[in-house]
Amino acid sequence: MSKLKSRKFWICVAAFLASVGTSIVALKSDNQIVAATGTICTILSAGIYAFAEAWVDSKAIGSQAPDPEDDEEDADE
């Protein structure tokens, strides 16, 4: 449910739908360059979303990691 409230998710959905729409219109008008561009952007929107989620998750995990300096202070006591 939290993914449905994510701005990154909705931006990805909007980019995906715009790219698919561009591809459909380009195929109808027989413009292969625009169709290819729409297809590439569709794939990129999913890839960028996956990268952004992985980056946010890695930052969240990194902020929860124990500080090695705390272990050194405990050993000194």
* Per-residue confidence (pLDDT) for residue 69, from 0 to 100: 63
Residue-wise pLDDT tens digits, 23-64: 888 888 988 888 888 888 888 888 888 898 888 888 888 777
SS (H, E, C) the chain: CHHHHCHHHHHHHHHHHHHHHHHHHHHHCCCHHHHHHHHHHHHHHHHHHHHHHHHHHHHHHHHHCCCHHHHHHHHHC
Digit-coded pLDDT (tens) for 11-20: 888 888 888 8
Work out the pLDDT band at 6, boundaries 50, 70, 90: confident
pTM of full prediction above 0.85: no
Domain ranges of the chain: 7-60
